[in-house]
């Protein structure tokens, strides 16, 4: 996949493109359905297939006070987009100037100027440009002058993307969206998020020193510092996978929370991963944690012995969940 950065000017394309546009946070199964349609249309018409997305979520600039936490950072998003088989991703710098740009200028500069779009495919609820004034109808109108067609796709539901019963409790009619997946994660409904994403939710960060208590307890943990703009699921104990910098994937029992056994009121949740059957130094390593199942909420154990027994049960349960 070719990656083009649009922060002013870009090379004039030699071939036209079938294009889709959006935040694409999470690259979920709804997004994948749109991209599959873009690829199908591109190959039918001898065009390149392209995704236009942003270097940060537009809400971070437009309404920072209520911007959502993200399912993916830019690196992850680009990796996931590459895995769809799309030919090009155009990463648009979303700054103040971009936020106040008119829909007309955005289309002229990016969609036509950078990609020579001939066919644009978006979800029917798509909005763009200053004040979210641009919609599918406006895009189609601009396309008539600029020489591209526009298709507004019906939004895919959980049933459409084959999410199955795991997408409950919202039900098969629920539209797949980044917002719905964020809500599932915040509720600790990991299987539902997985069903809508088509993969497990993965967060990335550096392993930082903790207070070494875990080792004393017999369960050393890697403290993973996840950037504040990334969405962590509900506090609790999880079975999951731990991905090392070299790509090795290891089973892990995760504590995401405030450790009430030790602290009356910790000010923030910590992500601590006990990597099963592993003994080694992880400090400073850039790792990923994938959440498979929430086992239970955090417990304020009455003693250290009870905590150690509790963690041992969590580790056993993690082995069962991961089929080890």
Ligand X SMILES: Nc1ncnc2c1ncn2[C@@H]1O[C@H](COP(=O)(O)OP(=O)(O)OP(=O)(O)O)[C@@H](O)[C@H]1O
* Chain residues in the site for ligand FMN (CB under 6 A): 210-214, 217, 219, 221, 223, 237, 253, 255, 259-262, 272, 274, 298-299, 301, 307, 310-311, 314
Distance CA 316, CA 60 (A): 41
As given in the structure block, the two tokens for residue 215 are: 């080792």
Is residue 4 near ligand X by the rule CB under 6 A?
A: no
Q: Which is the catalytic residue, given 118, 151, 174, 272?
A: 272
**Of residues 166-205, those binding ligand X (CB under 6 A):** 175-179
Strands (E), the chain: 2-6, 17-21, 48-54, 88-92, 117-123, 149-153, 201-208, 222-225, 236-243, 249-257, 270-275, 286-296
Which of ligand X, ligand FMN, none does residue 223 bind (CB under 5 to 8 Å by kind)? Answer: ligand FMN
Distance CA 156, CA 41 (A): 18
The nearer residue to ligand FMN, 195 or 307, going by C-beta atoms, is: 307
Distance CA 3, CA 271 (A): 32
The nearer residue to ligand X, 30 or 251, going by C-beta atoms, is: 30
Q: Is 224 exposed, middle or buried (0-12, 13-18, 19+ CB in 10 A)?
A: buried
Is residue 155 near ligand X by the rule CB under 6 A?
A: yes
The nearer residue to ligand X, 167 or 224, going by C-beta atoms, is: 167
Q: What is the CA radius of gyration of the chain?
A: 22
The nearer residue to ligand FMN, 22 or 257, going by C-beta atoms, is: 257
x/- site string to ligand X, residues 111 to 130, per CB under 6 A?
A: -----------xx-xx----
Three-state DSSP class for residue 271: strand
Q: Please indicate whether residue 141 is annotated as part of the active site.
A: no
Q: How far is the CB of 19 from ligand X (least distance, A)?
A: 10
Active site residues: 272
Instruction: Kindly list the residues in this chain that would bind ligand X in the complex (CB under 6 A).
Output: 20-25, 30-31, 33-34, 122-123, 125-126, 153, 155-156, 175-179
């Amino acid at each position: 996949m070719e990656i083009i950065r649009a922060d002013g000017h870009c090379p004039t394309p030699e071939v036209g493109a079938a294009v889709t546009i959006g935040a694409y946070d999470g690259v979920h199964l709804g997004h994948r359905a749109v991209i599959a349609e873009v690829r199908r249309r591109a190959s039918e018409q001898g065009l390149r297939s392209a995704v236009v997305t942003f270097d940060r979520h537009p809400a971070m600039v437009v309404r920072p006070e209520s911007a959502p936490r993200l399912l993916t950072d830019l690196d992850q998003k680009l990796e996931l987009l590459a895995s769809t088989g799309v030919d090009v991703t155009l990463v648009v710098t979303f700054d103040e100037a971009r936020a106040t740009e008119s829909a007309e200028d955005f289309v002229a500069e990016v969609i036509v100027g950078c990609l020579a779009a001939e066919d644009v495919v978006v979800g029917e609820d798509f909005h763009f440009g200053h004040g979210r004034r641009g919609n599918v109808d406006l895009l189609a109108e601009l396309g008539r002058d600029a020489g591209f067609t526009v298709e507004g796709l019906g939004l895919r539901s959980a049933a459409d993307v084959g999410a199955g019963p795991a997408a409950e409790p919202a039900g098969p009619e629920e539209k797949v969206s980044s917002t719905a997946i964020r809500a599932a994660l915040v509720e600790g409904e990991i299987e539902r998020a997985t069903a809508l994403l088509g993969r497990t939710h993965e967060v990335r960060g550096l392993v930082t020193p903790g207070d070494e208590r875990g080792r004393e307890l017999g369960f050393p943990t890697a403290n993973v510092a996840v950037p504040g703009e990334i969405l962590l699921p509900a506090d609790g104990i999880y079975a999951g996978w731990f991905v090392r910098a070299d790509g090795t994937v290891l089973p892990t029992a995760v504590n995401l929370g405030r450790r009430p056994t030790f602290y009356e009121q910790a000010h923030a949740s910590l992500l601590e991963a006990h990597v099963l059957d592993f003994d080694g130094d992880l400090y400073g390593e850039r790792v990923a944690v994938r959440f498979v199942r929430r086992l239970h909420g955090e417990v304020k154990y009455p003693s250290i012995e009870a905590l150690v027994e509790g963690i041992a049960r969590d580790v056993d349960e993690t082995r069962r969940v991961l089929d080890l």
